[in-house]
Structure 1
Amino acid sequence: MSAWRDRFSALVPRVAVVAHDLLMVWIVWQGLHRLRFGILPNPPEMPLWSTEIALVLIAQGLVFWQVGLYRGLWRFASVPDLWNIFKASALGLFAIALGLALYNRLELVSRTVLVLYPLTLMALLGMPRLLYRAWKDASSERGVSASVRILILGAGHAGEALVRDLRRFGTYQPVGFLDDAVRMRGTKVQGVPVLGQVSDVAEIARETAAKLLVIAMPSADANALQRVVIACERTGLPFRMVPRLADVLEGRSLPGELKEVAIEDLLGRKPVLPDWKAIRHWLGARSVLVTGAGGSIGSELCRQCARHGARRIALVEIDELALTTTEAALKRDFPDLEYIPVLGDCGDPAVIHHALKLAEPEAVFHAAAYKQVPLLEAQLREAVRNNALATATVASACRDADVGTFVLISTDKAVDPVNVLGATKRLAEMVCQSLAHEHRTRFVTVRFGNVLDSAGSVVPLFREQIRTGGPVTVTDPDVTRYFMTIPEACQLILQASAIGTHEAIYTLDMGEAVPIRLLAEQMIRLAGKQPGRDIAIVYTGLRPGEKLHETLFHADERYRPTAHPQILQAEPRHVVATDIHQAVTAMREASQSYDCDRLARLLREAVPDFTPESMPEAAILASPTVVPFPARVSRKI
């Protein structure tokens, strides 16, 4: 009974709207004819109801329904709705003319009426809708006297759409816009005045009693956004921003959501725009396997594969909680795909052979690795075993299983390596090169710099230090790093994989390096505090294995552009496959006996450009237990 009552309650307003529209059709048809024929000395008889009028109502009503006039709501009537009404009126005129031509050859139908009919009907149908919306909007504004007063920075399309959304919710009251465009001065957007420039935000916020600032500039570059954020910080008011369209499309933000300004929004480099068509063409309907699938890069890589056409994803992960969490998130967001979780160490040949047999992948993304620079300086055996020997195990298994593409996720630290992380990742690259000519499997290496918000990276470290009141620890006031976001890194991996070269090393043109000191200051300001006053910045000195500035390109690797303007392809340096295979075999033996001295010697021989910079040469040959480092700052920059 309740269901029937609900359906009836929902049907009544729609029936009323249909009745209103048909009444307007009757009024227009009758009124125009009476006006037209009323000037004649002997006007013809015009009954209030006739077969002709019935045909008019039926023809116009069917057109209204077919055009979809009743799918919208009067509450949100707008200019597109007026266009839809005009289109329905014009099409209705043709339907009426056709029906009456067949019925009575348009007898006593005025040609003048036919010309005026669509415009008059649009006015009588559109006016009540717009008046109803204006009344509802006014009612909402009268009811938001206690709402949060907000000042919007940016009077473009995003700002205009934001005002409409805020009025529907009724919990916020837009009091004004700020915009630097001269043509906007003194104008109104959706009835909200443009009060001044962005630089005037502190004074205007005080005059309007604003309680919240909203940055509606989703297309602004990093430099412009930095200036806006600095202006907002001076007011002492909380501020949010409208998300970029790319963030909404990728699922990182919800439509209409106001998000906090993130540190990646302020970095001075435009994000990479992938060629999604090429990626989907390469990835579509493929089975893929991801090692380290529970990590920051691995889990996002799984999401990107699921979003862009993979049919099956095998997840190899040694951490049971990370594996469970990642699988559950994928099943929630992409329930139609097939998932194969495999718990185990990808460096174990039995584990990787088992995973390859279950998944039968056409592409394997090797994301499993240790990456904490200071920690690995003191854990040489595990760094070699997990970063280099496990890569050799997975790459060899993929070659033997005839996997179409093997993708090694490497790092810019493999270029002129000065630490154990860089040396072991460079050795992993060399292992892939040594296998590339032996079989049909494509071996692709992708290098990128530091990844924002990845596990153990500098951003979550700074965020936690700011949360606890500081100090924020920076290794050196001059240290710089190249940064990219987690989704951007994964898009680079997929883009490089889709290019199609049999053996290649790809790197991203990452623009300018970011001073870590500036990164720390910006994060402190985004937290609503002032560097040096509310949160101290302490310089601790470079840690073992670190250097001031990273290198993206090796002098002997000739780089050339690819189909993607921001991805460069390096010409791999020559390696002797037999030497690499012998080095891997010797390292396995040294690893099994935990012989760190021999491992250090073998690593230096296998990677001749490995030159430790921040520690004496003897340190890397020593036992790992004698290389001290502060555990609380063991995360990498």
Structure 2
Amino acid sequence: MYNLSPFFKRLFKKTVLKRFLFFLISDAVLFSMALYLSFYLRFEGMIPDRYLVHFYISLPLFISIKIMVFYFLQIYRFTWSHIGLYELIKVFMAQTLSSLIISASILFLAYGEPFLGFPRSIFLIDYAFSLIMVEGLRVSKRAYIHARRGTVVEQKRTLIIGAGDAGEQIVREMKTAKDSPYLPVAFIDDDPSKKRTSIQGVEVVGMRMDIPRISKNLDVELAVIAMPSAPPMEIRDVVSYLYKAGINEIRVIPGTKEIISRNISILDIKRIEVEDLLGREPIEIEYAEIERDLKGKRILITGAGGSIGSELVRRISQFDPQLLVLLDFNETALFHISREIKERYPYLSIHPLLGDILDKEKMGVVFRNFAPQVVFHAAAYKHVPIMEDFPEEAVRVNILGTEILGKLSYKSGVEKFVFISTDKVVNPTSVMGASKRVAEMVITDLNHQQTTRFVAVRFGNVLGSRGSVIPLFQEQIRQGGPLTITHPEMKRYFMTIAEAVLLVLQAGAMGRGGEVFVLDMGEPIKIYDMACELIRLSGLEPEKDIPIVFNGIRPGEKLFEELLTAEEGVEPTGHPKIFKARIKETFSQEFLFRKIEELKNFALLQDAPSIITTLKEIIPTYTPNRLSKLS
């Protein structure tokens, strides 16, 4: 017997054409009923034959004019399951215009047959009945859908920026996903050939410069930037037009690297962050080279619960290592990252370890038990003002901890050791920067052992990391301000956590031992400008809603960070945005480790002035700015 199921599935499958025909035919029927009821009510249920002729003659005119007006005002292009006030107003306008045209036409013809004596009250009665019926039909569809779903989701009128593949996918998802909070009302695209085209029933209405006008006309509440391959400078320009339009709810679809090999869904839509507005081109990484370096390896990550460490864990997990050992002394952070990875990669061998890198005996057990082949050393103290108050801790963790792990690595036959450094090591003015510079010297010297390849990677400030300026600003905004900035001209190099970690992985893959890698981080960004962007992203105005105050440069800080000194210079690598610092050390191994031993003793005594003096002896360019406090 022939199976009719596929036939009926095709027959009742929803399409734009079927929706158009359904409402067109429904409206024709409703317009007919409205006109008949108008005559019926006008003559109190007894329509004389003469006026019944008026009904039959005028019916095609009423239906055709109304449907043509509805068509030209694009009433049949709306998705009525998401009807709102805007759509109802459009129907009201269409019905009013069509009734005026009909009235004018018949009154003009009323002086002769067949419209002679046409009752004028019919126009008003028909207008009321038609409006109630056509709007009632559309409202009833939404009510039925919500009743069937059991819940009503408040949908926001959404403007889609970008009418490419990503925009088409995201609009399709918005329309088909159950309980979607988005109601797409229009596309914006700078390609003039796309204007007035319809994508998934949503029209391309203009370019980015038209956003303020279009937003006002369409009553836009929210915008989604569907331009995953656009550079941040272009995103920032689009956002400026959205600000001008008064649209403060802005969402963005992540970059193509984050959604590779899968379709985009509404779950990918995220709030726009300041990272999305940085004027930096994305870093291109040789994923195949990284995979060769990490796949099937036993990998130890220190500081695995921190901002950089946890992102290292996430990224490395994608490369199918044999074993991931996650080391941190923060039990809460360690719990969260290990649980996250176990849920995301249930078949990956993960071993969380709670411990202190200064515990030499325990670290020895870790290296013996797990025999790591690659070590990523991200554990460190990094908060500049705190380390000025506790220089002995900077010595213990940043210098001595690195020395312990480095020596265990070459004694255990580790293949590669990647050390996370900072731009604050260049001409340091802080204890933190000086301690990390000494740690760089330690691993560079250990590279001479020739059993382990030691490399370092210098970073600028990482957006959103713990203790960084952005979480501080966000908390101050939540509290109503003010935002505190040390100096109006304070500038910093910034990168996202994802960029920082990709650089670490690339450096680990390309390092041959002894290198200090530096990222070409573009232009430094004024902290004041970043503060203003964060305030605007919160839907507020800088200085008007949230004040900004300047409280002076803190101990150990500089107005400008340097990535490389003139004395060092750089050498190119195989990567266009990664360089190798040309570092010339003028001291002997004996001198370095004698001074480190002195630092260890001064740290035990908590002798801050002696620590500062010894750091200056190791790093001649170190110029501390709070000796007066420590002396």
TM-score of the superposed pair, with normalisation by structure 1: 0.74
> 1:591 corresponds to which letter in structure 2?
A
User: How far 1:77 sits from its partner (Å)?
Assistant: 12
Structure 2 distance, partners of 1:148, 1:585, is 64
Q: Quick one: structure 1 residues 323 and 530, their matched pair in 2 at CA, closer, same or farther if it must change by over 3 Å? A: same
1:224 lines up with 2:234 in the alignment: yes
Q: Deviations over 1:561-591 (max 9, x none)?
A: 2122111112332242111111122222222
Task: Work out whether 1:144 is the aligned partner of 2:82.
Answer: yes
Matched, 1:603 2:615: yes
RMSD, aligned CA: 2.7
Q: Which residue of 1 aligns with 2:166?
A: 158
**Taking structure 1 as reference, are residues 182 and 19 closer, same or farther at Cα in structure 2, changes over 3 Å only?**
closer
Q: Is the 8 A contact 1:275 1:564 kept in 2?
A: no
CA–CA separation in structure 1 for the residues paired with 2:390 and 2:204: 60
1:36-71 CA-to-partner distances (Å, cap 9, x unmatched) read xxxxxxxxxxxxxxxxxxxxxxxxxxxxxxxxxxxx
Q: Does 1:322 align with 2:330?
A: no
Cα distance, 1:507–1:235 mapped onto 2, change above 3 Å = same
Q: Any residues of structure 2 matched to 1:94-113 within 5 Å, and which?
A: none
Does the Cα contact within 8 Å between 1:385 and 1:591 map onto a contact in 2? yes
The residue aligned with 2:346 is 335
8 Å contact from structure 1 (residues 559, 569) kept in 2: yes
- String of CA shifts for 1:352-375, please: whole Å, max 9, x gaps: 111111211001111111111111
- Per-residue CA deviation, residues 444-489 of structure 1 (Å, 9 max, x unaligned), is 0110100011011001001111111111111111111011111211
- CA deviation map 1:235-286 (0-9, x unaligned): 33323222222233499x9665321111001011112121111000111100
Change (3 A) 1:152 1:341: closer
Residue among 441, 453, 459 paired with 2:464:
453
Q: Which residue of 2 aligns with 1:443?
A: 454
Aligned partner letter, 2:595 = A
1: CA distance between counterparts of 2:478 and 2:294? 41
Q: Per the alignment, in what secondary structure is the counterpart of residue 379 of structure 2?
A: coil
* TM-aligned CA distance change 1:254 to 1:380, over 3 Å: farther
Q: Which residue of 2 aligns with 1:214?
A: 224
- Match of 2:314, SS? helix
- Report the secondary structure of 1:302's partner residue: helix
Aligned to 1:198: 208
Q: Answer yes or no: is the 8 Å Cα contact 1:314–1:355 preserved in 2.
A: no
Q: In the TM superposition, what is the alpha-carbon distance from 1:616 to its structure 2 partner? A: 4.7
Query: How far did 1:154 drift?
Result: 2.0
Question: Is the Cα–Cα contact under 8 Å of residues 540 and 546 in structure 2 kept in the other structure?
Answer: yes
**2:540, 2:77 → 1: CA distance?**
39
Please say if residues 170 and 265 of structure 2, whose CA atoms lie closer than 8 Å, have aligned partners that are also in contact.
no
Q: Percent identity?
A: 39
> In the alignment, which residue of structure 2 is the partner of 1:564?
575
- Equivalent runs, 1:292-441 vs 2, <5 Å: 292-441=303-452
Q: Which residue of 1 aligns with 2:292?
A: 281
The letter for the 1-side match of 2:370 is: A
Alignment partners' CA distance in 1, 2:193 and 2:467: 47
Check conservation: 1:248, 1:255, Cα contact below 8 A: no
CA distance in structure 1 between the partners assigned to 2:357 and 2:172 by the alignment = 52
Q: Which residue of 1 aligns with 2:530?
A: 519
Compute the displacement of 1:324 (Å).
1.6
- Secondary structure of the corresponding residue to residue 203 of structure 1: helix
Secondary structure of the corresponding residue to residue 305 of structure 2 = coil
Q: Is the 8 A contact 1:340 1:359 kept in 2?
A: no
Which region of structure 1 is more displaced relative to structure 2, 444-453 or 310-319? 310-319
Structure 1 position 175, deviation (Å): 2.2
Q: Structure 1 residues 19, 235: closer, same or farther in 2, change over 3 A?
A: closer
Q: SS at 1:175's partner residue?
A: strand
Is the CA contact (8 Å cut-off) linking 1:140 and 1:167 kept in structure 2?
no
Does structure 1 conserve the Cα–Cα contact (< 8 Å) formed by 2:491 and 2:526? yes
Equivalent positions of 1:466-477 (< 5 A) are 466-477=477-488
Q: How does 1:460-609 map to 2 (within 5 A)?
A: 460-574=471-585, 575-609=587-621
- Determine if contact 2:211/2:242 at 8 Å carries over to the other structure: yes
Using the size of structure 2 for normalisation, the TM-score is 0.75
Q: Is the 8 A contact 2:161 2:189 kept in 1?
A: yes
* Mapped contact 1:294–1:319 kept (Cα < 8 A): yes
C-alpha separation in 2, matches of 1:15 and 1:283 = 54
Given that 2:457 and 2:504 are in contact with CA atoms closer than 8 Å, whether structure 1 keeps it comes out as yes
- CA offset at residue 177 of structure 1? 1.9
Task: Name the CA distance, whole Å, in 1 between partners of 2:267 and 2:358.
Answer: 45
- Conservation of the 8 A alpha-carbon contact between 1:222 and 1:270: yes
Q: Where do 5+ consecutive residues of structure 1 fail to align?
A: 1-11, 25-72, 79-137, 623-637
Q: Give, in whole Å, the separation in 2 of the partners of 1:500 and 1:423.
A: 24
- Aligned letter for 1:381? E
What does 1:51-130 align with in structure 2 at a 5 Å threshold?
none
Distance of 1:76 and 1:343 partners within structure 2: 57
Contact 1:434 1:576 in 2 (8 A): no
1:185: which partner in 2? 195
Query: Contact 1:152–1:159 at 8 Å: present in 2 too?
Result: yes
Shift of 1:229: 1.0
Give the corresponding residue for 1:9: none
Aligned to 1:53: none
The one-letter code of the counterpart of 1:162 is I
User: In the aligned structure 1, how far is the partner of 2:316 from the partner of 2:537?
Assistant: 32
Q: Is the 8 A contact 1:153 1:217 kept in 2?
A: yes
Tell me whether 156-165 or 329-338 shows the greater mean CA deviation. 156-165
1:547 and 1:15 mapped to 2: Cα distance?
A: 78
Tell me the CA shift for residue 506 of structure 1. Answer: 0.4
1:139 Cα offset (Å): 11
Quick one: structure 1 residues 173 and 318, their matched pair in 2 at CA, closer, same or farther if it must change by over 3 Å?
closer
Partners in 1 of 2:266 and 2:588 — Cα distance?
54
Three-state SS of the structure 2 residue aligned to 1:280 is helix
Q: 1:499 to 1:212 in 2, by over 3 A?
A: same
| 1:64 matched residue in structure 2 | none
| One-letter identity of the residue aligned with 2:424 | K
Q: In the alignment, residue 604 of structure 1 is paired with which amino acid? A: K
C-alpha separation in 1, matches of 2:591 and 2:627: 24
- CA shift in 2, pair 1:376/1:254, >3 Å: farther
SS in 1 for 2:268: coil
